[in-house]
């Protein structure tokens, strides 16, 4: 009986050996970092329909007194007509002899810049705003300096 018991124990030991020698699985938890990828799609350019031509009621009469080198100032009047024509009137103030000039021509507008093309002479540029126009230099830039505000003509 001892032999049977010993044999059974040896058999159990042999059978238990592979189970106990079996490599324990490592319980590892890997941390996977996820990157958030943002894809920016370029949306098609939509033209800005908010410009002087479509947003402002700019036709009308504008007046102001602009600087003058040898007089008190120049009373300057610009009349923009709906039919695409424009008139400029300038009256030199403080001179013994009344001096006035009139110019006629056509206008067109690109965004907020109005171009006056007179019948004679060089084109002139104006910035169009709500209730005013501002004279620009020949390159379309704002006139700068201490007297810059005097180049703004107000709508009547």
pLDDT tens digit sequence for 61-87: 999 999 999 999 999 999 999 999 999
The band of 156, judged by pLDDT with boundaries at 50, 70 and 90, is: very high
All residues at 6 or more sequence positions from 114 whose CB lies less than 8 Å from its CB, including other chains? 52, 58, 80, 107, 108, 125, 126, 127, 128, 133
How many angstroms separate the CA atoms of 13 and 31, rounded? 40
- Do residues 152 and 64 touch, judged by C-beta distance below 8 A? yes
Select from 69, 149, 51, 60 the least CA-distant residue to 109.
Answer: 51
Question: Which CATH code is given to the segment(s) 52-155?
Answer: 2.40.128.640
Q: Mean pLDDT throughout 93-118?
A: 95
pTM check: above 0.95? no
């Amino acid at each position: 009986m001892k032999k049977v018991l010993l044999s059974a124990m040896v058999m159990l030991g042999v059978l238990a050996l592979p189970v106990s020698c079996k490599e324990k699985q490592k319980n590892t938890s890997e941390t996977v970092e996820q990157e958030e990828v943002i894809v920016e799609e370029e949306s098609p350019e939509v033209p800005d329909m908010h410009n002087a031509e479509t947003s402002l009621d700019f036709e009308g009469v504008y007046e102001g007194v602009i600087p003058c080198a040898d007089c008190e100032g120049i009373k300057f009047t610009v009349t923009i007509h709906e039919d695409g024509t424009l008139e400029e009137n300038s009256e030199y103030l403080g001179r013994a002899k009344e001096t006035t000039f009139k110019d006629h021509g056509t206008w067109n507008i690109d965004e907020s810049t109005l171009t006056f093309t007179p019948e004679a002479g060089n084109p002139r540029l104006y910035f169009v705003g709500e209730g005013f126009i501002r004279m620009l230099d020949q390159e379309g830039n704002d006139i700068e300096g201490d007297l810059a505000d005097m180049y703004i003509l107000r709508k009547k």
